[in-house]
Amino acid sequence: MAGNLPRNIIIAGGGTAGWMAAAALARRVGRHCAIRLIESSDIRTVGVGEATVPPIRGFNQFLGIDEKDFVRQTQATYKLSIQFCDWLRLGHTYYHPFGAHGTKRDFAHLHQYWLKLRQLGDTTSLDEYSLCAVASMFNKCAEQSPDPASIFSSWSSAYQFDASLYAKYLRAYAERLGVERVEGKIVDVRLRGEDGYIEALQLEGDRRIDGDFFIDCTGFRGLLIEQALKTGYEDWSHWLPCDRAYTVHCGTAGELTPYTRATALKAGWQWRIPLQHRTGNGYVYCSRYISDDEAAASLLANLDAPALGDPWQLRFTTGRRKKFWNKNCVAVGLASGFIEPLESTSIHLIQSGILTLLLNFPSLSGDAADAEQYNRNIALDYESIRDFVVLHYNATERNDTPFWDYVRTMEIPDTLQQRLEYFRSHARIPPRTPYDLFEFTDWIAVLIGQNVMPRSYDPLIDMYDVAEVRKQLADMRAQIRQTVQSLPSHRDFITRIMER
């Protein structure tokens, strides 16, 4: 144990957040700090985080996890996009693909050329210019290439996996690196008299676990960050009014699709996430506009195959803690806040919280400046994801139910309003900051997918000969189609990965 490093790090909670934190800390500081994770097998984890975004690959690489092993152990499939059905209007579909539009990563202004041709009467969908969107349409899969000249440099993917199996997998990993798991129910959080810092967690059966630094991964309860430290919560439900979800698994049917589907319904939306062994489903809804019984019945009526059990209800309030790091406690996962899973961002926020903590690692003596920096960074992360998710609801033409009337006409965050105004002038997106999960190409896919059209395209595009642009874009579409035809099916690709 060395110098000014915390000697005892205590992780409270063993869901996806707890075990991701344990694995990453064990990897980075495990030889120098004692890390203990407390969880109660009597308290169920949420465990429905099944769809992810591409940075998860970086997290697994940071841990040194072998992809083949991971795909096998977590029943993972690949995710190339989200297919959005009925969001703009009933019967309309678009993709939010990962990777770039165009055949190279640096073809950043493709949508500008597309907009110009559209103004001249071209009706080709923007999806046709995305390798990942077209591969999604044909249920094909491949890997990204590091070679910037390759068409696969425009490729990117994430995983869909069984989150409980992922937590189990990371538990084995963390325990191998020396993390000690303590089974027990936390019944009290002991605060130091002089400064209100946490000094110990009291477990059932009169056991006491002392620590220097605490990571609250106790889920929506926020046992440490909220119940003990009274940190406060910023409620965003006026922008994201869905507050409940029913989830249920069903068997697989038909081809294994390499994407998550999000279908807009009467008072929210339904997800469909195909894994190797089953499909995860859920209806995220707003209890002001639909009863629980109707939501559950609607979910069960929209499955590919018979349900593998009864629907399970979860309740939540979208928003975030006023501070993520308060005194000697950092909240990670659902204890830190929640943005509904439309863009599969919660596991990413866990990852971002852990990696940002490693960049601002606390010392034994502690310094408030580290906590403040951490809080600023994670707040930006949360807010930019919030704006992106709000966009999907607000940019709709749907007026068929009171729910859609509300979200279409609601006030939106100023930050999103400014972004929309900027886009509407010449289809530009502000530069990405390190705490924007979504980049240029993500915003373009959703803005154009939901028919948010600018008044004009970038005037610089008029420098190029339109016949030449038309030809280049047609060639690009043909190259994408041809490439996709040559790819293995998603299922064959998974088999190949597991046979490596």
Ligand X SMILES: Cc1cc2nc3c(=O)[nH]c(=O)nc-3n(C[C@H](O)[C@H](O)[C@H](O)COP(=O)(O)OP(=O)(O)OC[C@H]3O[C@@H](n4cnc5c(N)ncnc54)[C@H](O)[C@@H]3O)c2cc1C
Binding site for ligand X (CB under 6 A): 13-18, 38-40, 43, 45-52, 163, 185-186, 217-219, 221, 223, 245, 247, 282, 314, 316, 333-335, 341, 344, 346-347, 350
Nearer to ligand X, 103 or 318 (CB): 318
Q: Round to whole Å and give the CA distance between 373 and 211.
A: 23
Nearer to ligand X, 99 or 341 (CB): 341
- Tell me the closest approach of the beta carbon of residue 271 to ligand X, in angstroms: 7
- Tokens 């106790």 map to which residue? 218
Helix (H) or strand (E) holding 490: helix 490-499
Residue for token pair 């975030």: 320
Between 107 and 233, CB nearer to ligand X: 233
Minimum CB separation of residue 251 from ligand X in Å reads 19
CB 100 within 8 A of CB 441: yes
Rounded (10°) angle between helices 466-485 and 110-119: 120
Q: How far is the CB of 147 from ligand X (least distance, A)?
A: 30
Which lies closer to ligand X via its Cβ, residue 80 or residue 480?
A: 80
Task: Quote the least distance from Cβ 410 to ligand X, whole Å.
Answer: 22
**How many other C-beta atoms lie within 10 A of the C-beta of residue 23?**
29
Q: Catalytic site residue 79?
A: yes
Q: What tokens were used for 381?
A: 């992360």
In the complex with ligand X, the residue whose CB is nearer, 153 or 218, is: 218
Q: Per-residue DSSP letters for 74-106?
A: HT-EEE-EEEEESSSSTT-EEEEESS-BSSSTT
Nearer to ligand X, 116 or 323 (CB): 323
For the CA atoms of the chain, what is the radius of gyration? 23
22 and 37 in contact (C-beta within 8 Å)? yes
User: At its nearest, how many Å lie between ligand X and the CB of residue 3?
Assistant: 31
CB of 454 to ligand X, least distance (A): 31
Can you tell me whether residue 332 is helix, strand or coil? coil
Taking alpha carbons only, the member of 137, 341, 87, 151 closest to residue 258 is: 137
CA angle, residues 225, 218, 287, in degrees to nearest 5: 95
Q: Which of 79, 140, 266, 323 is catalytic?
A: 79
Alpha-helical runs (H) found in 197-245: none
Residues annotated catalytic, as ranges = 79
